[in-house]
Amino acid sequence: MKTTKKLFLLIVILMTSVSTYAQKFAYVDSDYILSKMTEFAQAEEKIDDFSKEWQSEIELAYEEVEQMYRDYQSEQVLLTSEMKTKREEAIMEKEKSVQLLQQKYFGNNGDLYKKRQDLIKPIQDRIFDAIQQLAASNKYSIIFDASSDLIMLYSNPDLDKSDKVLELMGY
């Protein structure tokens, strides 16, 4: 009997200590948070405007290249071989400059990427700071993002803290 009491007491102590060290989890939906932020929509609109403007500029430049090529083809029979070479070089040079312009605007570290960094990164930083504040004040060990590649097979809506993050940011 005495050993049963000791065993029971040991189990209670172990269960209490395990629950004391249990980690707290929560999740947020960053897509939902971003959809509620007017400055994100405005930033996306500005980025789209830049993209459309640059795309129009590139399309216009490619039309110039095509026109140069059509002109060359129609006049080719009248040109000397030296003139043909010069025209071909001019067409290739123009096409290369358009490709460089396209790379400048839409390349990996192009102007569009930089604009996105300038306009979107501060918004993402504000969300991150609010999540950090939420985690610290509620002692969460881990906060997941439901909109990322993380697969959540089940999530309790009570653990969704997206609205709390928006509240901390003043929305």
Q: What is the pLDDT of residue 89?
A: 97
Three-state secondary structure call for residue 169? coil
- Which pLDDT score, from 0 to 100, does residue 22 have? 66
Quick one: pLDDT band at residue 45, thresholds 50, 70, 90? very high
Residue 7 lies in a domain: no
The pLDDT score that the predictor gives to residue 161 is 84
Residue 72 belongs to what domain range? 23-168
Is 1 within the bounds of a domain?
no
**Cβ count near 33 (within 10 Å):** 25
What pTM was estimated for this model as a whole? Answer: 0.70
Q: In the predicted model, what is the mean pLDDT of residues 23-52?
A: 93
Q: Please report, rounded to a whole number, the percentage of residues in the chain having pLDDT higher than 70.
A: 83
CA–CA separation, 24 and 11 (whole Å): 22
- Amino acid identity of 119? L
Dihedral pair phi/psi, residue 130, rounded to 5°: -65, -40
Instruction: Evaluate whether residue 99 is within a structural domain.
Output: yes
Total domain count, the chain:
1
Q: With contact defined as beta carbons under 8 Å apart, do 28 and 146 qualify?
A: yes
Confidence class for position 90, pLDDT limits 50, 70, 90: very high
pLDDT at 151 > cutoff 70: no
SS3 at position 27: strand
Report if residue 100 sits inside a domain.
yes
Q: What's the token pair of residue 71? A: 């002109």
Closest CA to 40 of 145, 149, 121: 121
14 lies in a domain?
A: no
Amino acid identity at 148: S
Q: Is residue 6 part of a domain?
A: no
Q: Mean pLDDT of all residues in the chain?
A: 87
Res 95: pLDDT: 97
C-beta neighbour count of 153 within 10 angstroms: 4
Neighbours of 165 (CB within 10 A): 26
**The residue to which tokens 């939906």 are assigned:** 29
CB atoms within 10 A of CB 43: 20
Q: Is the pLDDT of residue 121 over 60?
A: yes
pLDDT confidence of 52, banded at 50, 70, 90? very high
Residue 117 lies in a domain: yes
